[in-house]
A and B are shown apart, each in its own frame.
Chain A
Amino acid sequence: MIPAAAESALDVAGAVRRGERTARSVTETALEMIAAREPELHAFLHVAADEARAAADSIDDALRAGRDPGPLAGVPVALKDNLCTRGIPTTCASKILEGWRPPYDATVVVRLRDAGAVVVGKTNLDEFAMGSSTENSCQGPTCHPMDPTRVPGGSSGGSAAAVGAGLVPLALGSDTGGSVRQPAALCGTVGMKPTYGLVSRYGLVAFASSLDQIGPLAGSVADAALLLEVIAGHDPLDSTSLDHPVPQVSRSIDAGVDRMRVGLVDELVDDTAPDVARRIREAAEELAQAGALVEEVAVPEMRLGLSAYYLIAPAEASSNLARYDGVRYGLRVEAPDVAAMNTATRTAGFGPEVKRRIMLGTYALSAGYYDAYYGKAQRARTLIVRAFDRAYERFDVLLGATAPSTAFAIGERTADPLAMYMSDVCTIPSNLAGHPAMSVPFGTGDDGLPVGVQILAPALGEERMFQVAAALERAAGARWR
Chain B
Amino acid sequence: MTEPPSLGRDDVAHVAQLARLALGEDELETFTNQLARVIEHARDVAALDVEGVPPTTHALPVRNVLREDDPRPGLDHEEVLAGAPSTEDGRFKVPRIVGEAP
- Residues in A lying within 8 Å of B, measured CB to CB: 100-104, 195-197, 210, 236, 239-240, 242, 303-304, 306-308, 310-311, 318, 325-332, 334-344, 346-347, 350, 355-356, 358-360, 362-363, 366, 368-369, 372-373, 375-383, 385, 416-418, 421, 432-435, 459
Q: Which residues of A contact B83 (CB under 8 A)?
A: 100-103, 328-330
Task: Decide: B60 and A434 in contact? CB cutoff 8 A.
Answer: yes
- Which 5 A/B pairs are nearest by Cβ-Cβ distance? A434-B59, A378-B55, A332-B85, A379-B50, A103-B79
In-complex Cβ contact of A346 among B21, B46, B65 (8 A): B21
Neighbouring B residues of A417 by C-beta, 8 Å? 34, 37-38
Quick check: A356 and B39 within 8 Å, CB to CB?
no
**CB pair B4 A366 closer than 8 Å:** no
Name 17 extra pairs, CB < 8 A, besides A310-B38, A336-B95, A433-B59.
A197-B62, A307-B44, A325-B20, A327-B84, A327-B92, A331-B85, A335-B95, A337-B95, A338-B96, A343-B22, A344-B22, A355-B21, A358-B21, A359-B15, A362-B18, A379-B54, A382-B55
Q: How far is the CA of A326 from the CA of B92 in the complex (A)?
A: 10
Q: Distance in Å from the Cβ of B68 to the closest Cβ of chain A? A: 9
Contact of B60 among A196, A330, A375 (CB under 8 A): A196
Q: How far is the CA of A315 from the CA of B52 in the complex (A)?
A: 23
Complex contact A336–B96 (CB within 8 A): yes
User: Cβ of A383 and Cβ of B38 under 8 Å apart?
Assistant: no
Q: Considering the complex, which residues of chain B in the window 38-66 have a beta carbon less than 8 Å from any beta carbon of chain A?
A: 38-39, 41-46, 48, 50, 53-60, 62, 64-65
Contact status A375-B55, CB under 8 Å: yes
Residue of B34, B50, B56 touching A385 (CB-CB under 8 A): B56
With beta carbons under 8 angstroms apart, the residue of B35, B41, B46, B50 that contacts A356 is B35
Given contacts A307-B44, A336-B96, contact A103 B80 (CB under 8 A): yes
Name the CB-closest residue of B to A210. Answer: B58
Residues of A within 8 A of B54 (CB): 379, 382
Interface pair A355/B96, CB less than 8 Å apart = no
B34 touches A376 (CB 8 A): no
Point out which of B21, B42, B53 has the most chain A C-beta atoms below 10 A from its C-beta: B42
Q: How far is the CA of A335 from the CA of B20 in the complex (A)?
A: 13
B25 to chain A, nearest CB (A): 14
Q: B: which residues have CB within 8 A of A?
A: 4-5, 7, 11-12, 14-16, 18-22, 31, 34-35, 37-39, 41-46, 48, 50, 53-60, 62, 64-65, 67, 75-76, 79-80, 82-86, 92, 94-97, 101
Q: Which of B5, B35, B57, B62 contacts A360 (CB 8 A)?
A: B35
Question: Would A382 and B37 count as touching, CB distance under 8 A?
Answer: no
| Contacts A311-B42, A358-B19; A432 near B85 (Cβ below 8 A) | no
Contact of A240 among B18, B46, B62, B82 (CB under 8 A): B62
Q: Name 29 interchain pairs, CB-CB below 8 A, sorted by A.
A: A197-B60, A240-B58, A240-B62, A310-B38, A328-B83, A329-B85, A330-B85, A335-B95, A336-B96, A337-B96, A340-B95, A341-B94, A359-B19, A359-B35, A362-B15, A362-B19, A363-B11, A363-B12, A363-B15, A366-B14, A373-B42, A373-B45, A379-B55, A380-B48, A382-B50, A418-B34, A418-B37, A432-B59, A434-B58
Q: Which chain B residues lie closer than 8 Å to A432 at the CB level?
A: 56, 59
A369 touches B38 (CB 8 A): no
By a CB distance below 8 angstroms, the chain B residues around A358 are: 19, 21
Q: Is the CB of B41 within 8 A of A418?
A: yes
Complex-state Cα separation, A156 to B9, whole angstroms: 33
- A340→B31 CA distance, assembly (Å): 22
Q: Contacts A101-B82, A379-B54 given; indicate if A459 touches B75 (C-beta within 8 A).
A: no
Contact A372 B5 (CB under 8 A): yes
> Which of chain A's residues have a CB closer than 8 A to the CB of B46?
307, 372-373, 376
| Residues of chain A contacted by B64 (CB below 8 angstroms) | 239
Residue among A326, A338, A378 making CB contact with B56, cutoff 8 Å: A378
Given A373-B4, A380-B45, does the pair A356, B31 have CB atoms closer than 8 Å? yes
Q: Are A373 and B39 touching (Cβ within 8 A)?
A: yes
Q: Which residues of A contact B22 (CB under 8 A)?
A: 343-344, 347
- Let me know if A343 and B92 touch, CB within 8 A: no
How many Å lie between the Cα of A385 and that of B7 in the bound state? 29
The residues of B that contact A418 with a CB separation of less than 8 Å are 34, 37-38, 41
CB–CB A376/B85 < 8 A: no
The reply to whether B11 and A379 form a contact with Cβ atoms under 8 Å apart is: no
Task: Using CB atoms, name the residue of chain B closest to A326.
Answer: B85
Task: State A342–B97 Cα separation when bound (angstroms).
Answer: 11
- Give the shortest distance, in Å, between B7 (CB) and chain A (any CB): 6
Query: What is the CA–CA distance of A256 and B83 in the complex, to the nearest angstrom?
Result: 50
| Distance in angstroms between the alpha carbons of A336 and B7 in the assembled complex | 33
Q: Which single residue of chain A is at the shortest CB-CB distance from B37?
A: A418
Contacts of B58 in A (CB 8 A): 196, 210, 240, 434
A195–chain B nearest beta-carbon distance, Å: 8
Nearest CB on A from B28, distance (A):
10
